[in-house]
Amino acid sequence: MNELRKHIDDVLTTAFKREFWLGLNEELSASYLAANETAIGPGLRLGNSEIIRLRPQIRHYTLNAALKRAAEYSGYVVSDKNTNPKGESYVVVESNLVRISRIGTSHDSFNIKKAKHRTLLAELNHEYEGYTPDFFDLNEKNESTGSLGVFIVNVNPPLFSDQSRMLDLRIVVPFTNLKGLHYSRSVSEILELYNIERDNVVLDKAIPVLRKRLKEQEG
């Protein structure tokens, strides 16, 4: 497991520059604060129950915009994905066969088991087996052997605590069935990886090997 974790460390630090993770942390933290201020601010004049329902939606769009800004600033490929017919929207960032997107989870349940998350992960992994063709509005499909799908996960605080700051921002590689995690690190840990000498892997060779090992681990 430690060897597999190191392999993913090497892939992430090769595919993405340190400045991307640093900008990501700053952009999402600032947008998280702004989302809460918008929801509770005097302009909307909402009651507590309305705030509780609206705030997750504001977070979804503002944090996706923050991810997009961080990626574009660092020069990575960014695309907007829209699901049909449910209308969910996601931002996908791609660099050298590593594809990432953002989701949010509750503080007491690391729940990434929803149907929309399974479909998003399939999109990130470029796995089209059993894929519903019109679920994502794609301009084109990549016919490669696959990429490594990674989730950026903002962990939300309980309702009785400060809503202006997320509890953590984690980088995870989930099982394809979402029943477990191959990899989970806080973004602060990711930043520390760049402080030591790491293997600079050849990603178009390393990703297929890594995907095979991940599937073997899942059984």
Q: Which of 109, 107, 133 is nearest to 119 (CA)?
A: 133
Q: Other CB atoms closer than 10 Å to residue 177's CB: what's the count?
A: 10
pLDDT at 185: 97
Per-residue pLDDT, 176 = 83
What's the average model confidence in pLDDT over 189-202? 91
**Alpha helix stretches (DSSP H) within 90-153:** 115-125
Mean pLDDT of the chain: 86
C-beta of residue 112 within 8 angstroms of C-beta of residue 175: no
pLDDT confidence tier of residue 132, bands split at 50, 70 and 90 = very low
- pTM score, whole prediction: 0.87
142 has a pLDDT exceeding 70: no
pLDDT at residue 136, rounded to an integer: 38
Q: How far apart are CA 25 and CA 7, in angstroms?
A: 23
Largest pairwise CA distance in the chain: 55
Answer whether residue 129 shows pLDDT above 70: no
Residue 130's pLDDT is: 37
Residue 11's alpha-carbon distances to 6, 98, 119, 121, 139, in angstroms, are: 9, 8, 23, 18, 27
Least Cα distance to 12 among 166, 168, 155, 185 occurs for 185
C-alpha span between 42 and 61 (Å, rounded): 20
Does residue 114 surpass a pLDDT of 80?
A: no
Higher pLDDT, 145 or 64: 64
Q: What's residue 121's pLDDT?
A: 79
More confident residue, 118 or 162: 162
Q: What local confidence, expressed as pLDDT, does residue 75 receive?
A: 97
DSSP letters of 101-114? EEEEEETTB----S
Is the predicted pLDDT of residue 140 greater than 50, yes or no? Answer: no
Of the given ranges (47-61, 83-97, 160-174), which has the lowest mean pLDDT? 83-97
Top pLDDT among 176 and 19 is at 19
pLDDT of the residue at 110: 66
Residue 32 has pLDDT above 50, yes or no: yes
Q: Where are the domains of the chain?
A: 2-218
User: Reduced to 3 DSSP states, what percent helix, strand and coil does the chain have, rounded to the nearest 5?
Assistant: 45, 20, 35
